[in-house]
Amino acid sequence: MITTPIIQTLPQKKLVGKSMRMSLIQNTTPQLWKSFMQQRNSIKNAVGSDLYSLQVYDELYFKQFNPKTEFTKYALTEVTNFEMIPEGMEAFTLESGLYAVFIYHGLPQNFAEAFQYIFHQWLPNSKYELDNRPHFEVLGKDYNPTSETSKEEVWIPVKNGTL
């Protein structure tokens, strides 16, 4: 289940974590998160306990969608600054911008239905267009990848549409 979004401006965030190139067909998300979680406690200047699953897509990714097309996925946490980046991790600055924020309830493997709703129902019927910026999910205290009651925030970058 997914909620109707709230439109909000995200302030800039400093994030630290790991990344991998992957596609929907060659999905290495479990390996990425396992690697990140093994080193997570070495991040000494983390802000809170929320985790960020972030995707950077090439500009034509959604216009010429193909499940074999690669993108970069990150496993991240927010930090106060970039002064203490653990070895094997990287800094990522998430720039400020306008986002449609959905709340998804359910198992990660059932997210395809929510994806269909966002990109094939909500977005085409909204006054917004997809913006070419990172997409991400905030995995907070209510996130549990093995529970049907799991909850995560889904942040989709948008801009005002042209009429």
Instruction: Return the minimum-mean-pLDDT range out of 15-24, 25-34, 61-70, 84-93.
Output: 61-70
Q: Which of 122, 38, 141 is nearest to 86 (CA)?
A: 38
Query: What are the tens digits of pLDDT across the range 58-114?
Result: 887 887 788 888 999 999 999 999 999 999 999 999 999 999 999 999 998 888 889
Q: Cβ(40)–Cβ(48) under 8 Å?
A: no
Q: Is 141 exposed, middle or buried (0-12, 13-18, 19+ CB in 10 A)?
A: exposed
- Residue 129 is predicted with a pLDDT of 95
Using the predicted structure, report yes or no on whether residue 163 has a pLDDT greater than 70: no
Q: Does domain 6-160 have CATH number 1.10.10.10?
A: no
Measured distance CA(158)–CA(130) in Å, rounded = 5
What's the CA dihedral at 90, 94, 99, 101 to 10 degrees? 40
| Domains in the chain: boundaries | 6-160
